[in-house]
Structure 1
Amino acid sequence: MSAKTKASPSPDAMREAAHHAVSALKLLGNEDRLLLLCLLSQGECCVSDMEAQLGIAQPTLSQQLAVLRRENAVSTRREGKNIFYQVADARLLALLQTLYAQYCPAA
């Protein structure tokens, strides 16, 4: 099918896609969550390391991680007393990589 004859998505499908995109953008719209997700986009990390690397105070860190868990943006695994987090949504990871390429200075 060529681009000219390709069927357009239905209004319901577009609304559903818009809903998911807005939800992702809302997650990224908080500076602490964006920092957490940027760090996690580089690989799995435990809470104590996030706190040390980002300088986010424990209450704020816990609150923002709870939001990310509730929205299924991150997944966790427990190893002893440590809980490790990673980005769980490949679409969110792709957005983070795009933001990183556009806004983060070269290392």
Structure 2
Amino acid sequence: MQDTAERASQFLRSLANQDRLLLLCQLTEGERCVSDLEALTGIRQPSLSQQLGILRREGLIEPRKEGKRVFYQLADPRVTAMLQQLYDIFCTNYGEHE
């Protein structure tokens, strides 16, 4: 059980950053190139590269190179499941407690 708790904790740490969460939310809609991610999220270099690097190292996203452009897509189905839960809690009437 301790190993499972450690893996879950690491997964949650990967999501527990506003920029990374924004990037992952954009990628739930499909593959995106870096310039699109920058425009959609407002995250500027070098922070964008840093956060994409963390998500890549954690195995949550995977890159695909096409010429000089790099595209990213989700690589871990747990991300989609977790983001759906977060959406249900924070982005629906259920989650509106302000």
Q: Same fold (TM over 0.5)?
A: yes
Q: Specify which of 11, 32, 48 is matched with residue 61 of structure 1.
A: 48
2:96 aligns with none
CA apart distance, 1:48 = 0.1
The structure having more radius of gyration, on CA atoms, is: 1
Q: Specify which of 55, 71, 79 is matched with residue 58 of structure 2.
A: 71
- Please list every run of 5 or more consecutive structure 1 residues that lacks an aligned counterpart in the other structure: 1-13
Aligned mates of 1:43, 1:101 — CA distance in 2: 20
TM-score by length of 1: 0.81
Q: Specify which of 63, 73, 82 is matched with residue 95 of structure 1.
A: 82
SS at match of 1:56: coil
Q: Specify which of 43, 67, 82 is matched with residue 30 of structure 2.
A: 43
Runs of 4+ in 1 over 2 A off after TM superposition: none
TM-score by length of 2: 0.87
CA apart distance, 1:42 = 1.5
- Please list every run of 5 or more consecutive structure 2 residues that lacks an aligned counterpart in the other structure: 94-98
Aligned mates of 2:65, 2:8 — CA distance in 1: 30
Aligned length, in residue pairs = 93
